[in-house]
Structure 1
Amino acid sequence: MNTIVRHVQDFGLQLAVSICFGNGQASAAVAFEDHAPQGPQLQAQNACDDSAVHDLMAEVHRLAEQAHQEYRAARLCHWAAQLVSPVGTDFQPSVFDQWLLEKLVARCPHFQLGWTPLQDHPASFRLMRNGGSLWIQVTPESLSARCSTRVVQISDADSVMKAVRGHLSQIGANSVLTEAAD
């Protein structure tokens, strides 16, 4: 298995892209420089190593640009943004979305994040910020008509995802208690 690392600076993101080749496929793990890779890996099915590297680096560039455009639109319009990748099963957003969340939290007093599915989890969440309050809304698929809202204090992307995970587990515990009572 061959591995190459490329360093990229795109739209304010300084990234390390580790590309692994094996069995006629290539995958890329993307990380902030000097950090462990996070979020879902990018995949390419290409027999030619050069083409696979080109395809994966183009995808990294596209995702970085998309995250930057989402941030820019939210900053200019004080409104909607959307994460560019699904949030992983470990509640870890991709590096692009982590960068986007950090920028929104640090610099946008008013924004709304569109509904984001949780990968391999039957629920979606969204965020709304209005001044000093950040509202998390979670909708489990099993309760699709019911949306649970919670106001939280957060300081960074990690605390956002911890709050989403905590709110989702609280909803799950409450639904178990409700079913037991019935």
Structure 2
Amino acid sequence: DWVVVELRNKLNSAEVLATRSALLLRNGNVVDVDGVSDVPFERSPDDYFIALRHRNHLGIMTAQSLALDATPDLLDLSGGTIPLHGGAAATKTIAGVKTMFAGDANGDGTVRYTGLDNDRDPILVRVGGVVPTNTWVGYSGTDINMDGVARYTGGGNDRDVILMNIGGAAVTGTRTASLP
């Protein structure tokens, strides 16, 4: 799947200095668009906050700026050794691996099951808006579980992922990206 890697100003983490589209592999590695190379940036050696965005997951960013030199660096944001902005609440741990929270179907930086701008309604609209058992096959931000099918009801539906990622009990809960 596609992600966007951002280099942010070491003095102002809200200021994006450079962006680069990249591929997220099934094993969690982020590589250049050729599928194998490191993600290159034309940049001066300096300290940068590193952020990662995805089409329907909440973005993450390093808690401190990191020194990047002219050669590519391997940064493992999944192991917990590099602190993230927002702390432990910024990611979901699955089988010991830190992952981004899924469910941001409308791309507003908040996972919300009910209410205004919720992420459940875009799934229903994608499948046709009238018959909730319909499905839609293809690449879409409403395919929350990333199985290639937008599904509102039934086994493997996408709205359950939203509910689980806001806590699973209260449908009014929300989860917000930890990006400035």
Query: TM-score, normalized by length of structure 1?
Result: 0.28
Between Structure 1 and Structure 2, which shows a larger proportion of helix residues? 1
Larger radius of gyration: 1
Between Structure 1 and Structure 2, which shows a larger proportion of strand residues? 1
Structure of greater relative contact order (alpha carbons < 8 Å, 6+ residues apart): 2
